[in-house]
Amino acid sequence: MAFLVAGTLQVASQVADAQESLGRKGKYSVKDPRVALALCSPEVSASTAALLEGVFQTLGFESCQRQEASVQGFRGELTRFQEQLDAHGGSVGCAFVALVARPWQLRQSQQLVRELSRCKALWGRPKVFLLLSSAPGAVPEPGAFLASLGELCGRRPHWSLLQLLTEVFSRTAEESAGAAYCPVLRSSLRGALCLGNVEPWGPEPEPGPSAQYDLSGARAALLLAVTQGRLGAQHDVEALGGLCQALGFETTLRTDPTAQTFQEEMAQFRKRLDAHRGPVSCALVALMAHGGPQGQLLGADGQERQLEVLVQELSHCGALRGRPKIFLLQACRGGHRDAGVGPAALPWFRRWLRAPPATPSQADVLHVCTDVQGRSSRGPTPRSPNQADVLMVYAAAEGCVAYRDKKGSDFIQTLVEVLRADPKADLLELMTEVSWGVVGVAWGEGLDSAFFSAPVFCSPPSHPFAEGGSPLPSET
């Protein structure tokens, strides 16, 4: 019994620590020691490695390790890093891992992200992964990218890391005009992450990067939702449709599309936008259906359609070149459930005893790929200029199920609530609030946070756009 009580108190303490780590106003507190690790393949120059260590120190990381290893040895080095943190026994404010190698050697980096997510010392703490290319002629050159990031952080200590990266990406895009440069950012952060030497709840930060999308033209939305066999899906459709109307989007709704209809509706949507006489400022596409581990969406007929094919369709829209294109995906991405998921039918005290040690393992991760020329892709070529200005927001992390109940999904319902409350705020900042809201609702069941990726933003969206809930039916 003593062991049970001790374990229960430890769980409660860890959950409280995770809540406290976000501080006030949904911002991470990084007052505890920050740790950094650089894993470099043998061909990485000494000057790049030294510059990386200097940037870590500029960003306030007290512990900075650098290991040279083959790419095959990265996972072993990361395991040792994780074991060191857990053996230390103290709290960690933030972990920053930089992987420097040839871009095609980093295709399986998601496995390394999962490896560090097992670290108990980092439960509820932000984990940043930065992938830098060591290929000759890489855009951006690793040293230039790191110098720009460090310099900007020193001048804008109140900016969140997402704001800083947006500005760095914008500068890089300007300097490499015509190079079809397309970085990728993936995030499940649940709050703003400020690495400057200021308290996260200090004075209000300065406005974000000055470059913003011009949203004075027409706005269009396409909602494709399978409602058959998806309890509560109609509530998501109604909530999202009302939000689009409130934000001035001309909205097209199609329910229970077949797999072929998904493709046809996307093609018709693109044609309508290209035929529009005036400028088009923004497009929003919401796809709500059952899903699969390879990114498939299942139509009402049970047939599959690959998500990448639908994204490619809109990427060919001439009216949206240089304009933000937002995809919301309310669907499963696999059959895994994140750490700590238990039956919702259990009494509350048994659910509490079986609760996850802290937050779900897929939360609190920022994954930045600065050069993705060689990464694998089942869809469009990553460096195609048509892939710029795309924001994809998922209801679950890669490989995990998404949830909904009779009232709808936590993801869609939380997203609508957040955007209605502050419709003029920065999009990426609002998405972190959505992640925080989803985890806040789902903490007792151990559900995953929302997850978003931006296969580029040369300037930050100035307008918001972006399945959690009681685990009744999942989307698989």
- Residue 252 binned pLDDT confidence (cut-offs 50, 70, 90): very high
Q: Is residue 195 part of a domain?
A: no
Q: Is residue 264 part of a domain?
A: yes
Q: Is residue 273 part of a domain?
A: yes
Instruction: Indicate whether 173 and 292 sit together in one domain.
Output: no
Instruction: Indicate whether 151 and 232 sit together in one domain.
Output: no
Q: Which range among 371-385, 405-419, 430-444 has the greatest average pLDDT? A: 405-419
Instruction: Indicate whether 159 and 230 sit together in one domain.
Output: no
**Domain-terminating residue out of 171, 187, 203:** 187
DSSP 304-343: EEEHHHHHHHHHT-GGGTTS-EEEEEES--SSB--TT---
Q: How many domains does the chain have?
A: 2
Q: What distance in Å separates the CA atoms of residue 416 and residue 221, rounded to the nearest whole number? A: 14
Query: Which of 363 and 380 is assigned the larger pLDDT?
Result: 363
Instruction: Indicate whether 379 and 418 sit together in one domain.
Output: yes
- Residue 272 binned pLDDT confidence (cut-offs 50, 70, 90): very high
Q: Is residue 202 part of a domain?
A: no
Q: Check pLDDT > 60 for residue 204.
A: no
User: What is the pLDDT, as a whole number, of residue 326?
Assistant: 94
- 21: its two tokens: 């780590």
Q: Check pLDDT > 70 for residue 228.
A: yes
Instruction: Indicate whether 269 and 180 sit together in one domain.
Output: no
Dihedral angle sign, alpha carbons of residues 184, 131, 31, 17: positive
Give ∠ CA 175-182-215 in degrees, rounded to 5: 85
- Residue 176 binned pLDDT confidence (cut-offs 50, 70, 90): low
Q: What distance in Å separates the CA atoms of residue 250 and residue 229, rounded to the nearest whole number? A: 28
Instruction: Indicate whether 257 and 162 sit together in one domain.
Output: no
Q: Check pLDDT > 50 for residue 344.
A: no
pTM of the model: 0.83
Q: Is residue 473 part of a domain?
A: no
Least confident window among 250-264, 311-325, 370-384? 370-384
* Gyration radius of the chain's alpha carbons: 22
User: What is the pLDDT, as a whole number, of residue 234?
Assistant: 96
**284 pairs with which residues across the strands?**
221, 326
User: What is the pLDDT, as a whole number, of residue 108?
Assistant: 73
Instruction: Indicate whether 408 and 300 sit together in one domain.
Output: yes
User: What is the pLDDT, as a whole number, of residue 372?
Assistant: 53
Nearest in space to 119 (alpha carbons), one of 24, 14, 211, 29: 14
Instruction: Indicate whether 173 and 305 sit together in one domain.
Output: no
Which residues are the active-site residues? 290, 332
User: What is the pLDDT, as a whole number, of residue 168?
Assistant: 83
Instruction: Indicate whether 149 and 244 sit together in one domain.
Output: no
Q: Is residue 176 part of a domain?
A: yes
Instruction: Indicate whether 339 and 442 sit together in one domain.
Output: yes
Instruction: Indicate whether 140 and 239 sit together in one domain.
Output: no
- Work out the average pLDDT over 94-120: 84
pLDDT tens profile 290-304: 998 887 899 999 999
Domain that holds residue 354: 218-456
- Residue 282 binned pLDDT confidence (cut-offs 50, 70, 90): very high
Nearest in space to 163 (alpha carbons), one of 472, 461, 470, 474: 461
Q: Is residue 420 part of a domain?
A: yes
Q: Is residue 465 part of a domain?
A: no
Instruction: Indicate whether 370 and 444 sit together in one domain.
Output: yes
CATH of the domain at 155: 3.40.50.1460
Least confident window among 55-64, 333-342, 344-353? 344-353
